[in-house]
Amino acid sequence: MNKGGGMKKMKYVLVTGGVVSGLGKGVTASSIGVLLKACGLRVTSIKIDPYLNTDAGTMSPFEHGEVYVLDDGGEVDLDLGNYERFLDIKLTRDNNITTGKIYQAVIDKERRGDYLGKTVQVVPHITDAIQEWIERVAMIPVDGQPGPADVCVIELGGTIGDIESMPFTEALGQFSYRVGAGNFCLIHVSLVPVLSAVGEQKSKPTQHSVRGLRSLGLTPNILACRSTLALEENVKQKLSQFCHVPAENIITLYDVPNIWHLPSLLRDQKAHGAILGALNLLGVAREPNLKEWTSRAESCDMLLEPVRIAIVGKYTGLSDSYLSLLKALLHASVSLRKKLVVDWVPASDIEDETAKENPDAYKAAWKLLQGADGVLVPGGFGDRGVEGKILAAKYARENRIPFLGICLGMQIAVIEFARSILGLQDANSTEFDPDTTSPCVIFMPEGSKTHFGGTMRLGSRRTYFQVMDCKSAKLYGNRGFVDERHRHRYEVNPDMVSTLEDAGLSFTGKDETGQRMEIVELPNHPYYIGTQFHPEFKSRPGKPSALFLGLIAAACGQLDSLLHAHKIPNGMAKKVSLYQNGNATKFAKIPADGIYSNCNGVHA
C-alpha cells in the first residue's frame, strides 16, 4: 500500500501472552502478519525478549533453541526466523529488542553525560528508550521495497505479569497512548483449558490474565484463545463480559494439523476485520487472499510417501535447537511432495566408545542412520559428538547416501576425507585438536587472530561458484554467486586445498579472495555437499533453499530431473573461467537480483 512517498502513520499490532508460556505466540504473531500481508498491507515485525542477554549469541541451544542469524550478522531469538519465513522479509538485529540492549543503550547515554545530571530511572528513561527504539526500528524497510511498512507487529516475549517484562509493559502502555487510538491494536494470546473429567472449557485463567494486563495499563482489542476445539458460544460470552472484549473479537486458536493453517484459521474467524477496524484501515485494505497458504497447508497434510532424513547432531533432545534446519527440510520435502520423517541420531551414540558403554544406544543409533534416505550433519560448537559426525560422513560417502554437511558438518566431511582418502590419521580441526599434524580446518577469523571475542564470521557473505558444472551451482540456478549467512570461526585450511582437490574433493564455491572455502562437493557421489554457510536461514515456504531441495531430491531419487530443470545459460561457463584466472571484478558486476527465485516454482 505504502509506496514510500508522503507522510503516514505507522500502525502497531502488539501481541502479548497470558496464563502459560509456550502457547505458540510467535507463530500466532507471524500468522497475523501473514493475514495482514494478504490484505495488501506491508508488514514488519519486532520481537521483544525481556531477558538480560544483549543478544542470543551466547545462549545455549539446549536451553533456548537455536540462535537465528540475520543478514546483518545479528544473532537473535529464533522467533525472528518465524517472521522472516512467514512474511518473506529480512529483519535487522535491531528488530530483536532485549532488556540487555535497552539498558546498555541507556547506560552508554548516561556515561556520555547525555542525561545532563538527571537521575536515570526505569521510568521515564528506560521506558522512553523502549518506545524510541520501537518507533525507529518499525520504519526500517524489510521487504525489499522502499519506504517503511504499513503495520509493525510487536511480540512481547514471556507471560504478562513476569517481573522482567514490567518495564516493557509500562512502556507499551505509554506507547499505545502515544500513538493514539486507531493506530494500535492489542491481541492477547491466552489459554482456555478443557478439564478432561467434565470436558468443560474454562475461562477463568484468561479472565485473570486480562485483569493483569489491564492493571498494567494495557487494554486488549482481541483475545486469541488457545484451546483444543473451537470455543463454545457461552464461553465466548462469558469472556466477552468479564474481559470487556466484543464476542466477535474473541478468536479460538484450536489445534490444527500444521502451523501453515493458522493464517486461514484467523481469517475464517474474521480476525483481519477486528484488527483492521482497530487500526482504522478497513477502507484501505482488501479482502485477504490466502490461496497459496491454504493450498500449501492442505497439501502438506496429505503427503504420504516418506523421505527419511537422519540428523546427526549434538542437541537431538530438543528440536528447537535445529528449528531453521527442520523448516528448510520441510520446505524442500513439501515442494517435492514428500512426507518428511526426521530421525534424530545423537552423534556420540554412533561412536565406538558407546558400543562398549551402552550397546543398545549404539545399535539403535546405527539402525536409524542405516535406515535413512539422506544424512544431514548440522553446525555445532565444541568437540562432543565430533567423532560420531565424522563416522556419519564416512558412512554416507562410502555407501553413496545423499549427504549435506552444514558449517561444522562441512568441516568434519573434509576431516573425514583427509583421514580416509589421504591417509592423514591425525587430520582434525584445530578447534578440537590444536596440536594436530594435519590441520585441515583452522581458525580463520575476519578480524584479529589473537583475540577470540568478536572474531566470529557472522551474517551474509558472498560465495562465488568456481565451476558451473557442479551440483551446487546448478541447484542455485546457474548464478555466478550466491549470498548466504555465516556463523563460524574455523574454515578449511587453504594450504591443504590443492592436496584435497587432487584426491577428488572439489571446492566448488569460494569467497571473493579464493582463500575461504564455502562449498565442497564429491563429484562422483550421488549427492555429497558441504557448506561453510548456513543455507537453512534463507529457506522459505514455497521457496525452498537450493541445497536442501537437492538433498531431498537426491534422497528420493529425483535429483536428475531437478538438475535438468537448471540448464547452464550460454556464456556463464566463460565468466567462471575468467574468475578462476583471478579476475574477480568481472564477477562482482553480475546483478544480485533473484538468486533464490530460481528455486521457486520449479516444483510448484
Least separation in angstroms between residue 343's CB and ligand GLN is 20
Window of 91-99, 292-300, 375-383, 514-522 that interacts with ligand GLN by CB under 6 A: 375-383
Least separation in angstroms between residue 419's CB and ligand GLN is 18
The amino acid occupying position 83 is Y
- Residue 342: which H helix or E strand, with range? strand 339-346
Least separation in angstroms between residue 477's CB and ligand GLN is 25
Q: Would you name the residues annotated as active-site residues?
A: 407, 534, 536
Q: Which is nearer to ligand GLN, 186 or 415 (CB)?
A: 415
User: CB neighbours (10 Å) of residue 347?
Assistant: 26
Window of 7-15, 327-335, 379-387, 496-504 that interacts with ligand GLN by CB under 6 A: 379-387
Q: Which is nearer to ligand GLN, 207 or 455 (CB)?
A: 455
Cis peptide before 124 (omega within 30 of 0): yes
Q: Where are the alpha helices (DSSP H) in 303-372?
A: 323-335, 352-357, 359-370
Least separation in angstroms between residue 444's CB and ligand GLN is 8
Least separation in angstroms between residue 489's CB and ligand GLN is 4
User: CB neighbours (10 Å) of residue 214?
Assistant: 15
Mapped onto helix, strand or coil, the DSSP state of residue 226 is strand
Contact 160, 216 (CB under 8 A): yes
| 389: contact with ligand GLN by CB under 6 A | no
Q: Which is nearer to ligand GLN, 464 or 490 (CB)?
A: 490
In the chain, the N- to C-terminal Cα span, in Å, equals: 27
Contacts of 431 (CB under 8 A, 6+ apart): 383, 441, 443, 489, 490
Q: Which is nearer to ligand GLN, 242 or 381 (CB)?
A: 381
Q: Which is nearer to ligand GLN, 167 or 380 (CB)?
A: 380
Selection from 303, 294, 315, 290 nearest residue 341 by Cα: 303
Contacts of 413 (CB under 8 A, 6+ apart): 377, 393, 397, 403, 405, 520, 528, 530
Selection from 290, 376, 371, 289 nearest residue 332 by Cα: 376
Q: Which residues pair with 222 in a beta bridge?
A: 187
DSSP designation for 163: G
From candidates 157, 288, 346, 379, binder to ligand GLN by CB under 6 A = 379
Phi, psi at residue 12, to the nearest 5°?
A: -120, 135
CA 416/CA 397 separation, integer angstroms: 9
Least separation in angstroms between residue 573's CB and ligand GLN is 32
| 392: contact with ligand GLN by CB under 6 A | no
Q: Which is nearer to ligand GLN, 106 or 407 (CB)?
A: 407
From candidates 75, 150, 431, 511, binder to ligand GLN by CB under 6 A = 431
Contacts of 298 (CB under 8 A, 6+ apart): none
From candidates 37, 331, 487, 540, binder to ligand GLN by CB under 6 A = 487
* Size of site (CB under 6 A) for ligand GLN: 10
CA 568/CA 306 separation, integer angstroms: 31
Least separation in angstroms between residue 532's CB and ligand GLN is 8
Least separation in angstroms between residue 396's CB and ligand GLN is 18
User: CB neighbours (10 Å) of residue 198?
Assistant: 8
CA 241/CA 234 separation, integer angstroms: 11
DSSP designation for 126: I
Q: Which is nearer to ligand GLN, 455 or 499 (CB)?
A: 455
CA 148/CA 29 separation, integer angstroms: 19
Selection from 355, 419, 432 nearest residue 393 by Cα: 419
Site track for ligand GLN across 406-425, x = CB under 6 A = -xx-----------------
Residue number of the CB closest to ligand GLN reads: 379
- Binning the chain into helix, strand and coil, the percentages to the nearest 5 are 40, 20, 40
Window of 209-217, 285-293, 485-493, 539-547 that interacts with ligand GLN by CB under 6 A: 485-493
Least separation in angstroms between residue 595's CB and ligand GLN is 22
Window of 59-67, 86-94, 486-494, 555-563 that interacts with ligand GLN by CB under 6 A: 486-494
| 488: contact with ligand GLN by CB under 6 A | yes
| 365: contact with ligand GLN by CB under 6 A | no
CA 590/CA 577 separation, integer angstroms: 15
Window of 171-179, 336-344, 460-468, 481-489 that interacts with ligand GLN by CB under 6 A: 481-489
Mapped onto helix, strand or coil, the DSSP state of residue 273 is helix
3-state secondary structure 547-576: HHHHHHHHHCCCHHHHHHCCCCCCCHHHHH
Least separation in angstroms between residue 424's CB and ligand GLN is 20
| 440: contact with ligand GLN by CB under 6 A | no
From candidates 315, 403, 476, 490, binder to ligand GLN by CB under 6 A = 490
| 27: contact with ligand GLN by CB under 6 A | no
| 489: contact with ligand GLN by CB under 6 A | yes
Contacts of 398 (CB under 8 A, 6+ apart): none
Q: Which is nearer to ligand GLN, 251 or 408 (CB)?
A: 408
Window of 97-105, 312-320, 374-382, 586-594 that interacts with ligand GLN by CB under 6 A: 374-382
From candidates 381, 433, 580, 600, binder to ligand GLN by CB under 6 A = 381
Binding site for ligand GLN (CB under 6 A): 379-381, 407-408, 431, 487-490
